[in-house]
A and B are shown apart, each in its own frame.
Chain A
Amino acid sequence: MPKVSMSVNGKQVSGNVEARTLLVDFLRNELRMTGTHVGCDTSQCGACVVHVNGKAIKSCTTLAVACDGANVTTIEGLANGQDLHPMQAAFRQHHGLQCGFCTPGMIMAAVDMVNRLGFDLSEETIRHELEGNICRCTGYHNIVKAIKAGAAAMGGLKVAAE
């Protein structure tokens, strides 16, 4: 079986995987990091979004072997110890989740959105950019609010809580 090594949340990891092992299965089954979820397994829902070399991708549609040497960031890599990442804190504050299943992907997509588009995101931009993330509790309204506030918080801006 091919050997694969990568950095996951700043920690060097390696393992032997079958070529057909998906990145999400490597994370969940080999590394036992179950924060990244599998929702649809057909590239639609975005619950599996992680960052590979700084870009949001669907880890259910990526081979683990193809990530050899890559830098991977998952939802587990955002918080600083007990301190939530500003985007995580915003999701909590604004009730940006109901069942929470889609939340890891939503938050990783949101952080990627800020990385690409900056801290001041309009509601229209956020809704457009969330096309690859599905919430089956239909909780988009508060997710959008949370991302707007989380983006501002990442930029150190003050936004009044609603």
Chain B
Amino acid sequence: MYAFDYHRPASLRQANNLVAKNGDAKILAGGQTLLPTMKMRLASPSALIDLGALKELSGIEHKGRNLVIGAMTTHAEVAGSALVRELVPGLAGLAGGIGDPHVRHKGTIGGSVANNDPAADYPAGLLALGATIVTSKRKLAAADFFTGLFSTALDEGEIITRIIIPVGAKFAYAKFRNPASRYAMVGVAVAKRGAKVAVAVTGAGADGVFRWAEAEAALAKRFNAKALEGVANPAPKGLNGDIHASAEYRSHLIGVMTKRAVTAASGK
């Protein structure tokens, strides 16, 4: 990897100042995507601003009707949290299925969200759950935050501080993973809150994570995997095809994973 300057701020205020002063800098969270990308010289930031010392960005709290997860909370912490397991068990399961145990000890929810890899798990989960992404500047609904392949609504120098997830939905995430990378070939998150159903798909969309409206309409009428039997899968046009799976296969997998997620969310 190319040389860079390294900063390890002790407070969010310091971090914001450093970000403002270093235009080409990248923010380092768990580093499980950024460091491999830099090693392959696909990224060469002039500086890294490591948020690793900011304890204020870590931790999981139950506040009112929300679960509030600090941006620097690792996947292992979310997967193992008694609070998450009790309030949104499907999210603990999602976090526990990312990468492998060593990656989960380092990788963070904020890093995953900021990177918005089209095959990452969190974007689908947070979109379906109607989460809010809180930054150093503002609050953004997940629906407005994820804007395309590896792209988000984040401005230059904006730092994600925490994620707010409303509790009380029936929620599950089902993933058909690539056996080598453990990224989602297709992952589907389903959330039912009152009469409203959200279905979010990752790993498949040519523009990244997306909502599947037809499935949502069918499931709002009857929240059961059988309700999807007459619903056509999303058309392969607009889906990814690569050496791992064709667009047609991904289309098929979306249907299968959605049914599995619905069944899991129903607790059956």
Contacts and interface: CB of A to CB of B under 8 A. Distances in A.
Interface in B1-40: 1-6, 8, 28, 31-32, 35-36, 38-40
Interface in B167-225: 180, 182
A149 B40 CA distance: 39
A101 to B, nearest CB: 17
Contacts, number: 76
B100 interface: yes
Given A43-B36, A109-B101, A62 B31 contact: yes
Interface string A58-82: 1001110110100000000000000
Contacts of A146: none
**Which range contains the number of A residues in contact with the other chain?**
20 to 34
Interface stretch (A5-13, A27-35, A49-57): A49-57
Contact of B6 (A22, A42, A58, A63): A63
B82 to A, nearest CB: 15
Q: Tell me the dominant secondary structure on chain A's binding face.
A: mixed
A113 B101 CA distance: 9
A63 B8 CA distance: 12
B106 A61 contact: yes
Interface string B78-108: 0000000000000000000001111101100
Interface of A: 2, 18-20, 22, 41-44, 46, 49, 55-58, 61-63, 65-66, 68, 109, 112-113, 116, 129, 131-133
Given A19-B3, A63-B31, A66-B50, A56 B105 contact: yes
B105 A57 contact: yes
A63 B102 contact: no
Nearest to B38: A20
Nearest to B34: A61
Given A43-B32, A61-B35, A20 B52 contact: no
A63 B51 CA distance: 13
Interface of B: 1-6, 8, 28, 31-32, 35-36, 38-40, 48, 50, 52, 76, 99-103, 105-106, 180, 182
Given A19-B3, A66-B28, A109-B101, A131 B182 contact: yes
A132 B36 contact: no
Given A66-B50, A66-B52, A20 B4 contact: yes
B26 to A, nearest CB: 12
Nearest to A55: B105
A109 B102 contact: yes
Contacts of B5: 19
A133 B40 CA distance: 21
A112 B5 CA distance: 32
Contact of A49 (B28, B35, B52, B102): B102
A61 B101 contact: no
A161 B144 CA distance: 58
A113 to B, nearest CB: 7
Contacts of A2: 6
